[in-house]
Structure 1
């Protein structure tokens, strides 16, 4: 096909492309075009930029958000769930001596009085409802924006109940030991004891049971990022990154415990004429409920697959306390049973229900070390603790001072309204799933 005249004339006028005077035609290279031919908008190579072609495109590369499981934001899925097994210790309650024993026939200590040589305290006289107990903490949360700066999270904690029972008593062969209930005589202020088993006089036994109820609580908080620092290179998986978040929300916590004493005895030798047997029980219960707001800080450091969390917060709200004291004795006389609404440590002077409310603080701290096993699975180990001041504990509401007559003089025992701090601390082992 013949080429149009104008293009051929154009090429002939320019001469061989890329060949200057005196050169052979063996090579080609671009030749600068005079602007007078094409106009000022054309460049030296005869091309003209297309106006508006790059309009609206970003001037620099936009970094994509972190991938799920990246080290920039550990746990950077849209939401997560986690579970921790808790090896928990709860502070025990101070308990007065409730049951004591001594070898029979000791003239210096015939009734097993506390503090005298030979006396063995079988129940009470130390801390009750302490020791390690298993627990479980379950949590979940989600981020509300792609930058992971605003989120919601919540958790539920339960520590299992515990119980301890002490049983002691005589037998038909009249085992040679004295079993007694220690008290303080309100009339003299001195230690006294009521025999439960005394060879030749009375044969009986007693059971003391201390039970700690479940400690359980929950919280729901909002989370807001206050500060964050990426690693040295600012890349998607930097080293030695850090963030600090503020948390604020609602929290509640509940704890209850109880202690009971039961005894049964049969007088011998007419020491109590007409009475064939006596049985009785005393029961002390207490529960505490905290409801209020909570606020604090959560700090996180991570490097590679390792991640360290430290959180501290304090709650402020209302603490509701409830307690009850009950007791009853049954006397068997000539085959008939007479019930009396009173027992040794539960008398008309302290039997009943009690309530109290006050403002309370609830400090709490958590530390955890995480290891990212896979993109979605994180394993953790840590430490947790909380303190709830001024709670009622069942054993601490026992008044050991007794007016045995209850018909005159100082009315004792009373409800002492003793308050103390409840603390729980534990080691945690758990796992987390990111989604």
Structure 2
């Protein structure tokens, strides 16, 4: 009688819950909820029943039941499998559609054990199996909750009982993002149901619980780079000279970029996952344009170290000056930063709604910069060049930094109600390939005779060409994110991000800081500008806003 009472109590408990058996309060299910929207501190635990306090419960015969001949024991009448109604179908008689209840034997030992059904046991929705035995099961709906009142509850539908689990025929309801209202009118007939409806995930046998991701807007600031004086109104050794371009930090303004994160679970316990990220910090540009209309006197300063010039002097290439020359000067620089990584994350610690994952994987980061200086001057009087002669020079610098390596780190996550906090700390280590392509040219036109030589002012035969090298580099990264569950299954996020690259090559590292040039071709004596490139640590940091699909 005690065992019969236990079975009656369990049956009534689960039946009154409205037929929704997609719940999990087993030991496994309790651990599982820590990856979901509710902390595990609220996970329901089945009550302990005191056999001394059990009372007999009267059982009323339900439609579809009969009594075995010669016995008072209730038995099942044949019933066809119950299928979920399609949207718009005529309602059926609820009493006629109820499944066969659990057999409660008044005599003898119990034929079915009491067991706890976890959330993970609810599966195989499209292949209902006729019951071969009955099992009394207890369940909790703590794991069915997905952000409280944000998620609509599914329509009450009759369950189909099989030997191992409860499910809806034709529909899976996990109490989270896969609620029935997100599906089409056919209840995802023949396909899976994800949070967006019956999309590509369902066709591949995946559901919304198999993946997660986010999309974010990045507002980033670079560490900046300081260029030497590139345009002025006189020689650099003159205290009255005004600097129009250069001797300032460039690439310091905010740029808008983006980041996309996609992850998938590698096991049903949500203990291991794979995460892929791609991001870019936007393009940062610097520009300067001038001519005789904007600057009465405009020159390009440099330090002349040509043999025979004793001592070396501060010199200028005249672009525009009243009565002597007219012309124009254009300077353009740009910087791009981007990266990607793929990591495996293994759960290491979880308690009180918090998880800590250890991660390892592959890391890539790229940083490109370029600088182009173009000038053109036309002689207005006879002097060094005849009237009407044209002199134009171009200096071009292109830099690439590509890091490829491994990464190790730690990722944490904590949720309390509608709020969550995540952090990421990791470091990449591997090969950094640095590449610099320098080119220059000078065009002259005198009395209709044109000539071009492969030398500019800051790029000449002493440093022109393609320069490559490889070194060992580090790429550390930190990220902090605060989330608020504004929408069902989605967090609105805000955070801070910083990532750095050691031993990077920037524009200031390839431009001769003294603007020293040997105008002899080929250079005799001082080999300037030189190829003694300089390296340093580059970083980009800023804030991000986004929308995250949560698990």
Considering the TM-score relative to the shorter chain, is it more than 0.5? yes
Out of 375, 378, 394, which is 2:491 matched to?
Answer: 378
Alignment match, 2:223: 91
* 1:69 counterpart = 2:146: yes
Would you say the 8 A contact 1:152–1:220 is kept in 2?
Answer: yes
Out of 480, 485, 508, which is 1:367 matched to?
Answer: 480
What is the CA distance between 1:376 and its match in structure 2?
Answer: 1.1
Would you say the 8 A contact 2:229–2:247 is kept in 1?
Answer: yes
Give the Cα separation in 1 of the matches to 2:114 and 2:261: 44
Partner deviation per Cα, 1:133-172 (whole Å, 9 max, x = no partner): 110101111222333211111111022223222111215x
* C-alpha spacing 1:57/1:208, structure 2 compared with 1 (3 Å): closer
* 1:422 counterpart = 2:538: yes
Give the Cα separation in 1 of the matches to 2:366 and 2:210: 31
Give the Cα separation in 1 of the matches to 2:145 and 2:278: 25
Give the Cα separation in 2 of the matches to 1:324 and 1:371: 47
Partner deviation per Cα, 1:67-98 (whole Å, 9 max, x = no partner): 47359xx9993311210000011122221110
Would you say the 8 A contact 1:284–1:395 is kept in 2?
Answer: no
Give the Cα separation in 2 of the matches to 1:431 and 1:191: 56
Partner deviation per Cα, 1:379-400 (whole Å, 9 max, x = no partner): 0000111000111113431111
* C-alpha spacing 1:57/1:325, structure 2 compared with 1 (3 Å): closer
Alignment match, 1:160: 282
Give 5+ residue unaligned stretches, structure 2: 1-104, 117-135, 149-175, 178-207
* C-alpha spacing 1:137/1:57, structure 2 compared with 1 (3 Å): closer
3-state DSSP class of the match of 2:487?
coil
Would you say the 8 A contact 2:441–2:453 is kept in 1?
Answer: yes
Give the Cα separation in 1 of the matches to 2:446 and 2:237: 36
Going by fraction, where is strand more abundant, 1 or 2? 1
Give the Cα separation in 2 of the matches to 1:222 and 1:203: 62
What pairs with 1:31-430 in structure 2 (closer than 5 Å)? 50-51=108-109, 53=111, 57=115, 66-67=143-144, 69=146, 77-101=209-233, 112-114=234-236, 116-171=238-293, 177-186=296-305, 188=311, 191-212=314-335, 214-230=336-352, 241-274=353-386, 276-399=389-512, 400-406=515-521, 407-430=523-546
What is the CA distance between 1:129 and its match in structure 2?
Answer: 2.8
* C-alpha spacing 1:304/1:96, structure 2 compared with 1 (3 Å): same
Is the radius of gyration larger for structure 1 or structure 2?
1
What is the CA distance between 1:128 and its match in structure 2?
Answer: 2.4
Give the Cα separation in 1 of the matches to 2:265 and 2:459: 55
Alignment match, 1:25: none
Give the Cα separation in 1 of the matches to 2:301 and 2:146: 63
3-state DSSP class of the match of 2:466?
strand
Q: Which moved more, 1:330-339 or 1:262-271?
A: 262-271
Give the Cα separation in 2 of the matches to 1:85 and 1:280: 40
What is the CA distance between 1:253 and its match in structure 2?
Answer: 1.2
Q: Which moved more, 1:179-188 or 1:215-224?
A: 179-188
3-state DSSP class of the match of 2:209?
coil
Q: Which moved more, 1:390-399 or 1:375-384?
A: 390-399
What is the CA distance between 1:53 and its match in structure 2?
Answer: 3.8
What is the CA distance between 1:352 and its match in structure 2?
Answer: 0.4
* 1:432 counterpart = 2:548: yes
Going by fraction, where is helix more abundant, 1 or 2? 2
Give the Cα separation in 1 of the matches to 2:212 and 2:534: 43
3-state DSSP class of the match of 2:509?
helix
Alignment match, 1:21: none
Would you say the 8 A contact 2:147–2:417 is kept in 1?
Answer: no
What is the CA distance between 1:371 and its match in structure 2?
Answer: 0.5
* C-alpha spacing 1:63/1:48, structure 2 compared with 1 (3 Å): closer
Would you say the 8 A contact 1:68–1:375 is kept in 2?
Answer: no
Q: Which has the higher contact order (CA 8 A, sep 6+)?
A: 1
Give 5+ residue unaligned stretches, structure 1: 1-46, 102-111, 231-240
3-state DSSP class of the match of 1:161?
strand
Give the Cα separation in 2 of the matches to 1:273 and 1:198: 14
